[in-house]
């Protein structure tokens, strides 16, 4: 399967230092691994330092790249500034940021406490704008043309019930992406986003697709391309968007979801119609067009 292979050429991210928030697990870990393989220095940060250390050791061994784990709750500006300071101390500068950290779980909204909503919104929205603001100031002060990649979701655009705090927060991140892309273009800073469909990770599956639900609503039936995403597919797109190959692209969100978001198309229910039924329907339509009676 070619889509589970790396896409960019060797050394495509050489001389770049990229911070990946939430880089110790799931999609963040997969992106960090690919950036290392392409020659970048990578900084991974999140709350659980033991997890970060284990991932850093594993990825350094597999890729031979340079990776720095730093503990950081993205809701805390001092800890964010510490990540940037440590990255500069170790690697000399920072060129890219992937805002990938998130908190999320399914729940009927009326069951949520105020604190539950705050928790998700603060990790996703506050965490993203704090980190982006801190690095943007550093880039502008140091005349660095930095790049931000925000990992959002398809429901940042469509909205979705049962994940309302996440949907509100991701929509805010998407609007920040477009707004700042225009404002900071004069500094050469670019911001783009990826809206992934379902990519299996323990973090998402434990909280969003518990076993009982996953069995009942199979992805194969719901997704036009009849499968979930491969991590390398997302890592390929992410590497392109943080690399200089995408130098002319800013303020964009790229959906990578096997067509899942297209389900709203008004006539997509016709998926269920068989070939025999189509023969009859075609005859009916043609005879109606030739002079049959149309509804008022
Ligand atoms: C209702 C819940 C709840 C649940 C937590 N809370 N889980 N309420 N249903 N299932 C409430 C708690 O009762 C508490 O409110 C408040 O939320 C904060 O909970 P804590 O456990 O104290 O918070 P914390 O330890 O900071 O954990 C944050 C978290 C947790 C978001 C709740 O799940 C987490 O650490 N998540 C990080 C990883 C993650 O979420 N990954 C998935 C990303 S996937 P009270 O009032 O009781 O104190 C994703 C993909 C989207 O975003 C698209 C998929 C296709
Ligand atoms: P994941 O493995 O649970 O990743 C979430 C990461 O966020 C964890 O590493 C977690 O690390 C970190 N994090 C949580 N709270 C934090 C905080 N306060 N400060 C710093 N870091 C924090 O889940 P994932 O599926 O890979 O998700 C990665 C991203 O992809 C998220 O933005 C998610 O919304 C997005 N996404 C995923 C899917 C999917 O199908 N998997 C689909 C659409 C979008 P700690 O616990 O150590 O802090």
Distance 254 CA to ligand 1 centre (A): 26
Please report the pLDDT score of residue 106 as a whole number.
97
What sign does the CA torsion over 170, 127, 242, 230 have?
negative
Active-site option among 34, 138, 155, 248: 155
Cα-trace Rg, the chain? 22
Structure tokens at 2: 């070619």
Q: What percent of the chain has pLDDT over 70?
A: 98
pLDDT tier at 215 (50, 70, 90 boundaries)?
Answer: confident
What is the pLDDT, as a whole number, of residue 292?
61
Contact 245, 8 (CB under 8 A): yes
Q: At what angle do helices 26-37 and 49-63 cross, to 10 degrees?
A: 30
Band (205; pLDDT cuts 50, 70, 90)? very high
- Report how far residue 99's alpha carbon sits from residue 187's, in angstroms, rounded to the nearest whole number: 20
Encode pLDDT of 237-293 as tens digits: 999 999 999 999 999 999 999 999 999 999 999 999 999 999 999 999 999 999 865
pLDDT at 295 over 70: no
**Are the C-beta atoms of 20 and 42 separated by less than 8 Å?**
yes
The predicted-structure confidence for 87-108, as pLDDT tens digits, reads as follows: 999 999 999 999 999 999 999 9
Q: What is the pTM of this model?
A: 0.97
Give the position, in ligand 1's atom list, of the atom nearest the Cα of 155. 53
Nearest ligand (C-alpha, residue 22): 2
Listed in sequence order, the residues at least 6 apart from 31 whose beta carbon sits closer than 8 Å to its beta carbon are 20, 23, 98, 100, 234, 235, 238, 239
- SS3 breakdown of the chain: % helix, strand, coil, rounded to 5? 55, 10, 35
Ligand 1 pocket list (CB less than 6 A):
102-105, 107, 111-113, 115-116, 119-120, 153, 166, 198, 203-204, 207-208
Looking up tokens 């920072």 gives 94
What distance in angstroms lies between residue 61's CA and the mean position of ligand 2's atoms? 23
Alpha-carbon dihedral 160, 165, 171, 174, rounded to 10 degrees: -130
**Structure confidence by residue, pLDDT tens digits, 127-157:** 999 999 999 999 999 999 999 999 999 999 9
Q: Report the distance separating Cα 153 and Cα 294, nearest Å.
A: 43
41 contacts: CB under 8 Å, gap ≥ 6: 16, 17, 18, 65, 66, 67, 68, 90, 91
Give the start-to-end residue ranges of the domains of the chain.
Answer: 17-264, 267-296
Ligand lying closest to the C-alpha of residue 75: 2
User: Domain 17-264 falls in which CATH fold?
Assistant: Rossmann fold (3.40.50)
* Active-site residue, 130 included: no
How many angstroms is it from 102 CA to the middle of ligand 2? 4
């Amino acid at each position: 399967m070619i889509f589970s292979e790396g896409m960019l050429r060797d050394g495509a991210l050489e001389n770049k230092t990229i911070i990946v928030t939430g880089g110790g697990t799931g999609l963040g870990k997969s992106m960090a691994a690919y950036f290392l393989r392409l020659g970048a220095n990578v900084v991974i940060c999140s709350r659980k330092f033991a997890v970060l250390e284990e991932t850093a050791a594993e990825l350094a061994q597999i890729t031979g790249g340079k990776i720095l784990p730093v503990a950081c709750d993205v809701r805390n500006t001092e800890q964010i500034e510490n990540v940037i300071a440590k990255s500069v101390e170790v690697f000399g500068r920072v060129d890219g940021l992937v805002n990938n950290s998130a908190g999320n779980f399914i729940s009927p909204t009326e069951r949520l406490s105020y604190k539950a909503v705050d928790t998700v919104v603060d990790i996703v929205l506050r965490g993203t704008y704090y980190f982006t603001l801190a690095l943007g100031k550093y880039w502008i002060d140091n005349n660095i043309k930095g790049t931000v990649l925000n990992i959002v979701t398809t429901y940042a655009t469509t909205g979705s019930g049962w994940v309302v705090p996440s949907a509100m927060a991701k929509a805010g991140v998407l609007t920040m992406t477009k707004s700042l892309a225009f404002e900071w273009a004069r500094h050469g800073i670019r911001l783009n986003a990826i809206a992934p469909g379902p990519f299996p990770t323990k973090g998402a599956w434990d909280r969003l697709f518990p076993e009982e639900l996953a069995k009942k609503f199979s992805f194969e039936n719901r997704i036009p391309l009849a499968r979930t995403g491969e991590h390398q597919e997302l890592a390929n797109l992410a590497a392109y968007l943080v690399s200089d190959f995408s130098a002319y692209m800013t303020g964009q969100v790229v959906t990578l979801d096997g067509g899942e978001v297209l389900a709203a198309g008004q006539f997509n229910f016709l998926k269920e119609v068989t070939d025999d039924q189509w023969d009859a329907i075609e005859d009916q339509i043609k005879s109606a067009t030739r002079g049959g009676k149309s509804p008022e």
